Amino acid sequence: MGRLLSLAAGVQPDIAPADMVTVAHEAGWPAVGIWFDGEVWGDTTSREVRQRLDDTGIVALDIEPIIPSVDGSDFAEQLIEAAVIIDAQHILFTSRLKDQVRTTERYQQVCELAEPHGIKVVCEFLPIFPLNTLSMAAGIVDTSGASNGGVLIDNLHLSRSGSSIDDVKAMPIDLFPYLQICDAPAQRPIDFAGLLDEALNGRLCPGEGSLPIVELLKAVPAVPLSFEVRSKFLRDIADPVARAKYLLKYAQQSCGHL
């Protein structure tokens, strides 16, 4: 049986959550990621997303993000409520807090709230955030002691944070419940602005760049793959279904190399 392939929420930032499900289905994706905006998400949104998932049979691989910060609410409780309603398998957590103790405490709280519902909470590291390395994310999960915790590897962030496939292999494989995949040039951007622009606009489809995708998939076999190709090129494809179909072709090809 092949891996579950999911269209990441970040690919289609201009699409409403319920419509994201429809687009993924029409393009042939079996799973989808859902973006949660606490400022606008309401009970109606949850019901609409759940209805589309039920109508199409699409799996909600994840819902994101919970990002604690010093500036205000992270909407964690509301996001978890939505995750339960739409039956999301994972919740994505990262942090803008510089204090790792506070980040770990909040991560543990989120895991405790999600655990009764069978939802895993993945801790993602990004080189543009204070939570910026694989080892830091793994440490937060380990310290939390959460039974439903895990680390989310986005292979672009893995590369740009200076970690390697060997670093991944050195950790327990069950720490990684799924992966986010894209491609990029081998050379790392030289500053924060470059890292941010690449992460939001400059990602490539698998096979278009030089990241060691096949090696990562071999290191973490069998788990679902979320294709997180945030790309201005893709967004310039006006039809969101055509955009999703274009990426699916590359996603299927990347799995075909295994």
**Per-residue pLDDT for the chain (258 aa), expressed as one digit of tens each?**
589 999 999 999 999 999 999 999 999 999 999 999 999 999 999 999 999 999 999 999 999 999 998 877 899 999 999 999 999 999 999 999 999 999 999 999 999 999 999 999 999 999 999 999 999 999 999 999 999 999 999 999 999 999 999 999 999 999 999 999 999 999 999 899 999 999 999 999 999 999 999 999 999 999 999 999 999 999 999 999 999 999 999 999 987 755
The residue count of the chain comes to 258
Residue 83 has a pLDDT of 98
Dist. CA 227–CA 181, nearest whole Å: 5
Dist. CA 32–CA 61, nearest whole Å: 6
Question: 11: closest CA among 204, 230, 208?
Answer: 230
Residue 257 has a pLDDT of 58
Residue 2 has a pLDDT of 81
Amino acid at 164: S
Dist. CA 121–CA 118, nearest whole Å: 10
| Partners of residue 179 on adjacent β-strands | 153, 225
In 135-156, which positions are buried (b, 16+ CB within 10 angstroms) versus exposed (e)? ebbbebbebbebebbbbbbbbb
SS3 for 65?
strand
Q: Pull the structure tokens for residue 180.
A: 């986010």
Domain count, the chain: 1
Residue 258 has a pLDDT of 52
- Please identify which residue in the block is written with the tokens 């543009």: 128
User: Is the separation of the CB atoms in 250 and 203 below 8 Å?
Assistant: no
Residue 71 has a pLDDT of 78
- DSSP secondary structure code for residue 9 in this structure: G
Residue 69 has a pLDDT of 84
Rg (CA), the chain: 17
- CATH number of the domain where residue 24 is located: 3.20.20.150
Q: Cβ–Cβ contacts within 10 Å for residue 84, how many?
A: 16
Dist. CA 47–CA 181, nearest whole Å: 29
Residue 166: which domain range? 5-256
Q: 258 CB contacts (<8 Å, ≥6 apart)? A: 214, 217, 218
pTM of the model: 0.95
